[in-house]
Structures are given as structure tokens and as C-alpha cells.
Amino acid sequence: MTPYTKFFFGLLVSISCLQTSLILSQTPAYVLKVTNVIQTMPNELEFDIYLLHTNPDSSVFEYATGQFYFDFNSLIANGGSFTYSIVNSDLPEALQPRNPQVYLVGGAMQLRLSANALPSPGQGFIISAISPGTKIVRMKLQTTSKAFSEQYFRLRWRNGPSNPYTKIYSYVDEIYTEISNPSNHLIDSLDHPLPVQMNSFVHFVSKNNVNLIWSTNSEINNRGFEIERKSVDSEWQKRGFVTGAGFSNQTVTYSFLDKNLSPGIYNYRLKQIDFNGNYFYHYLESLVEITIPENFYVSQNYPNPFNPESNIDFSLPSNNLVEIKLYDMSGKNVKNILSRNMPAGFHSVKLNSDGLSSGVYIYRFTAENSGNVFIFNGKLIITK
């Protein structure tokens, strides 16, 4: 290798090392975001705080510590008092923010997460550059009231220069450095008033049917409402969907009938879904109770006249042996519809006209328990 070649090769190595040094010396670029805001209970909200490394090169973002402060509207408490707590985190416990608190400062409400103990260089946490990033923490905000007034939340990052404010610290070439960049602190939900402003959400019980009625004051981009129900010992289940008004600045009223429930206690919630897929839950404040009926009841079959199927509803105040038999107008038993021990509650049975000709028939309902018998006769018509 000639002296000139050695010089040129050495210059390339020096330039390469300098470029590497410059890359490693860059202040880590990041996005700090609140996301996945969900109302988990009528009086509970949860949300994630994610940190994403966004440098355009392959440099390493070694997160050292951070403090995370928010402003929000106290009216969300709905007359109750707040608690603020950590749910989980991607960070090891020693690097998780600490001491979650709710502060009232000069008439404004703040949510505060204090900084963790400072690790040594090389002992920090490498923040992911793959979206959505590293979950710094998932938080829960609760009120002692029965339910939030969620439309008042309006969560905002509290950024500098007024202390206390959100700060992020990283080791840059092993130098402890504040890298806070307020313009990269985002909130992707509840950053503005909710797209649907709820006015009311109530229910009415008729026998074993629940009628849900709710109204909105305004709607933006509202695809509709998914109705969900759960009993005390079950998971949430979808019961139906009601299409929203889309865009409205007037009061819009909706209803949904949930039919034929068994005796028990139930919760309901509405999953309001935007056209872009975002959603938010609205909970019915009160529990819904379906009680055991006090008296026997047998409905007129419906539809009537019918072909090929009809329904008969009945209710039992106690456990009974139930029989339903079908007779023609001469008094001949032409079909046994039901013969079974049935528990107290609300029931429905289906009648099929297979094998029967057009005409008028009598169905006889009997319920027997300990020698006591309840009898009901009804008339039905088959048309073929």
C-alpha cells in the first residue's frame, strides 16, 4: 500500500468514525403519546402513556427517567373525589414513574407522575422504535361518584416553562440530558370534546324485557352504538347495534329493546363507534334487575293466525310441571307441545304447524306444583 493510499484509507476511516460519533451524539427524537383511553367502569378511566423512538438512524435511545404531568377538567368527577393509580408498564419496576397523585393548583386540576430513581449510564431502558413504542405506564383515574361526566375530561399535557411540567431524560453518549420536546407530546383521544355528547341514558323494565333509551346533544362522525350487557358473573356480550345520526347539533333520541332475560341483575353499556373506528363507552349508572314473576301468565300465541310457526310466552312464580297441549274443535288432542319441569321465571315455547291442517284450535296450558294447578285455555288459528 502506497503512502498516498494509506493516507486516503485513513481519511475514510476518520470520516466514518466522525459520522458514527455524530449519529450517537444526536439528541434522541421521540413521540410521547397518550392513547387507548377507555372507560373501564362507569366511574373509572384508563389510558396508556407510550414513548416511541423516532430518530431516522439506528442510534439507541437509552431512557433514564421522566416525570409526566397533565391538566384536566375537575368536572369529570361528577361531585366525587379522585384517585389516580398505576395499572402496568413495559418498564422494569425501578424505572417506572412513581407517586401518582391528583393535585388542585390555583383552581386547576393536575395529574402527576414523579420521576423514578436515576439509573447509571448503560442501566437505562432502550426505548422501542417500533410503533406504538414502549409503554411507560398504563394509568387509572377513578371518582367516588357512581359515574364520570366523561365529556368534561379534556386531558392536556402540562409542558414547560411553568413548573411542574413533563420532562424526559436520556443518556446521550453517557451524558445525562434533558431531551423534553413539548411539540412531540400528543394525545390521540379526548384531546377535544367527545364526538358524541350524551344527554341521558336510562332504562325501563317490563316483565323480562329491558328497554334502553338514550339521547345525545350533539354528534360528530358517529357511526352508531353497540349495545353490550353483562350479568354479575359474566363477561360483556354484544346485544345489538343502533345506527347513529352521523353529524347532528340537535337532540337525538335512541332506544333498544333487550328481550326475554332470565331473572338476575345486569349491567349495560353503549359502545359509541366513530366512522374511523375510534370508540368510547357510556355506562348505564344503575343496575337492571329482572325479578321472578309474582303470578302466572300465559300470552296469546303470536303471530296469530300463523303458518308455519307461532310463539307462546308464559311466566311462573315457582317451579312447576308445565304441559301445553293442542286440541281441535271436537276436543281431540292433536299435539303435545310441551311437558317438562320448568323453573320459576319467564319462558317461551315455539309451536310448529307441521302435520296440522288449517283451522281453529285450542291450546291448554297447565302448571302443577304440590297439588296446586293453574290452567289457561287459548284459541289459535292455522292458515295453510
56: DSSP letter: S
Number of continuous H segments (helices) and E segments (strands) in the chain: 1, 26
**Contacts of 251 by beta carbon, 8 Å cutoff, 6+ apart:** 199, 215, 216, 217
What's residue 191's pLDDT? Answer: 41
Determine the pLDDT at residue 326: 96
CB 211 within 8 A of CB 227: no
pLDDT at res. 128: 93
- Measured distance CA(179)–CA(21) in Å, rounded: 18
> What does the alpha-carbon distance between residue 207 and residue 195 come to, in Å, rounded to a whole number?
35
Please, what are the domains in the chain?
27-187 (2.60.40), 196-290 (2.60.40.10), 297-382 (2.60.40.2550)
Cα 347 vs. chain centroid, distance in angstroms? 31
- pTM for the complete prediction? 0.51
pLDDT of residue 194: 58
For residue 189, the model assigns a pLDDT of 58
Res 340: pLDDT: 94
Range 316-337 burial, b when 16+ CB lie within 10 A, else e: bbeebebbbbbeeeeeeeebeb
How high is the mean pLDDT in each 10-residue block of the chain (384 residues)? 47 39 63 88 89 85 94 86 95 95 82 94 93 95 84 82 88 91 82 66 92 90 93 90 90 94 92 84 88 92 94 93 95 94 92 93 93 92 92
Q: What is the pLDDT of residues 146-181, one digit of tens each?
A: 888 766 777 889 987 777 899 999 998 889 999 999
How many CB atoms are located within 10 Å of the residue 9 CB? 11
Decide the pairing of beta strands 98-105 and 108-114. Answer: antiparallel
What is the C-alpha separation between 172 and 25, in angstroms, rounded? 6
Q: CB of 266 within 8 A of CB of 288?
A: yes
> What CA–CA distance (Å, rounded) separates 26 from 315?
75
Q: What is the pLDDT of residue 106?
A: 66
Q: According to the model, what pLDDT value does residue 6 have?
A: 45
Q: What is the pLDDT of residue 9?
A: 41
* pLDDT the model gives residue 218: 81
The confidence score (pLDDT) of residue 16 equals: 40
pLDDT at 2 (0 to 100) = 54
